[in-house]
Amino acid sequence: MRYLKAQGDSIFYILLSIVLSVLLFFALNLVFEFATSSEGLAIMQWNRKIPFYEQINSPSKLELETEFVLKSTGNNLAIVFPKVIANRLEIYINGYFIGAFGDKTGNIWPKALVQELPEWVLKENNNLKIVLYGTVGYGMSYYPYITELSKAKVKALTVEILRNNVSLIALGAAIIISYILLFAFAIVDTPDKKMYLNIGLAMVFTIFSLIQFVYRETSGTLFAYLIFEKMALVFPIFGLTLIYFGLNESIPRKVPKFRRIVLIASPLTFAAGLFLSNRIKTINILSSVTELYAVLLIFLTLFLIVRYKMVQYYFPIIFLSLMSLQTLYVLINNSPAELMIVYGRIVFSLYIGTFTIRKFKNISEIKKFLEQENLIDKLTGAYNRKIIEYIRPGGTLIILDLDNFKEINDKYGHIYGDELLKRFAEVIKRHIRQGEDYFIRLGGDEFCIITNSLDVETMMERIYNTSKNELGLSFSYGYAPMKNFDEAYAVADKVMYENKALLKKQK
């Protein structure tokens, strides 16, 4: 039954992430089609092909020129640029300079730009010239168009909400979630402690990487702009790396073979990105390298959660992965589609934050209940036998009995024996899930664990090796499905003593 439930949960989370991704993709396309489509005069014929995005090796400018015809001129007309990737945009009509956005070290993406057209400059036949200034690249994802000023403002506002403001929301969510996770790391003492630290730091790197996604008229200097550009390239890589290592903290202590590669490659990529020279050609090469490495990290993370059946993380990781792959596809294929990685970061951040808060709430409620009901063993901090009547059937009951503990007590005394029991209890607590598994002292040196883990053998092997290595203490154990505690105890106890007898024969 537990296996079927886990399978059902896995399928649900996978389908949820895929369905939500598809719905979001089509919904955004519909909205952006409205926001970027012309209800007036679309300006599509230019003196040269407008690049979606063109990398350059030194700061330069791109001049684009065209002719357009207005059947009637008048007030309240505006030219709309739905998406310009550049540092600065200058607009000239009929030889007159009529407006500009940004400066040569600014970032005028991702905002939609609206420039009102003065009546005196317009004729029936008009010349339009725009100049794009770029540091590492420039381009336009959509053709500009001329429409009524009131309509232009509505469309620009729609784009700002869904593109620019969403980046600010993602930035705010990352700040809040990073605080929650780092606070969790500081106050808890559970197996999830290091995971909170890693994912909390991943959120910090997300914060810095999103700065380049925020509209800025200027960044002050060319040096500062290039720092922002490099942060946008390498900080997501380190964020993905920390998520990967954070999730590693939830699996058995066998180091996955890919972990060593990531442990070396990610710091090298990060250091190269931040500390290599500010040569623009180098930054463009780094851009291609980080895109490929990001794909590798995404698939490694997916492999990790599927390999170790980390069902609770299926939805946020798969959703983030789909959003990342969509963004990489857009960038590699010069597609006019919107970059959806920001939405992936928002959903991932909110899910992890909500999951952590809910876990804290459960732990707090359990702790309060236990204090009221006096269900804690004072020596070890484990539950005492009274907790058994409150535990619902289900999961696996594991019985543990320390080997030769009576001889240890007789040889070193009860004070030493009690200290050893406390240290053994700490070993157990480090390897079970706080708030989900039950660790119970049945009496003396006999303990039990009630868990819904699907891999009991791996968990017990981990505990045994830690106890043996850190305390020099071995134990015997047996386990059985727990529909009824007494029946499960009888079966597990029999298995445990059969294992003890087998070990004695082998010796």
How far, in Å, CA of 426 to CA of 10, rounded? 32
**481: helix, coil or strand?**
strand
The residues, ordered by sequence, that sit 6+ positions from 32 with a Cβ below 8 Å of its Cβ are 82, 159, 162, 338
H-only helix segments in 210-313 = 222-248, 257-275, 280-307
Reported in sequence order, the residue ranges of 46-204 that DSSP labels E, i.e. its strands, are 54-55, 60-69, 77-81, 84-85, 88-93, 96-102, 113-117, 125-134, 137-140, 145-148
Question: Which tops the pLDDT comparison, 128 or 249?
Answer: 128
Q: How confident is residue 258, by pLDDT bands cut at 50, 70 and 90?
A: low
Q: Which of the residues are catalytic?
A: 445
**51: helix, coil or strand?**
coil
How far, in Å, CA of 431 to CA of 192, rounded? 10
How confident is the prediction for the chain on average, in pLDDT?
84
Domains and their CATH numbers in the chain = 2-31+160-362 (1.20.1070), 41-155 (2.60.120.260), 375-506 (3.30.70.270)
Contacts of 502-507 with C-beta under 8 Å, sequence gap 24+, read: 503/476
Q: How many CB atoms lie within 10 A of CB 392?
A: 7
Given a cut of 50, whether residue 313 has pLDDT beyond it is: yes
The two three-digit tokens of residue 193, written as one number: 């402690």
How far, in Å, CA of 321 to CA of 297, rounded? 10
Least confident range from 68-82, 251-265, 274-288, 438-452: namely 251-265
The average pLDDT across 357-379 equals 74
How far, in Å, CA of 159 to CA of 153, rounded? 10
The residues, ordered by sequence, that sit 6+ positions from 6 with a Cβ below 8 Å of its Cβ are 309, 311, 454
Q: pLDDT digit string (tens) for 322-363? A: 988 888 888 777 777 788 888 888 888 888 888 888 877 776
From residue 98, give the alpha-carbon distance in Å to each of 91, 94, 129, 464. Answer: 6, 10, 10, 76
The average pLDDT across 94-122 equals 91
Amino acid at 505: K
The two three-digit tokens of residue 158, written as one number: 């729609």
* Tokens 């539950």 found at: 383
> What is the predicted pLDDT for the residue at 7?
67
Q: What is the pTM of this model?
A: 0.70
Given a cut of 90, whether residue 190 has pLDDT beyond it is: no
Question: Which tops the pLDDT comparison, 3 or 431?
Answer: 431
ω into residue 51 within 30 of 0, thus cis?
A: no
How wide is the angle at C-alpha 187 spanned by C-alphas 184 and 189, nearest 5°?
95
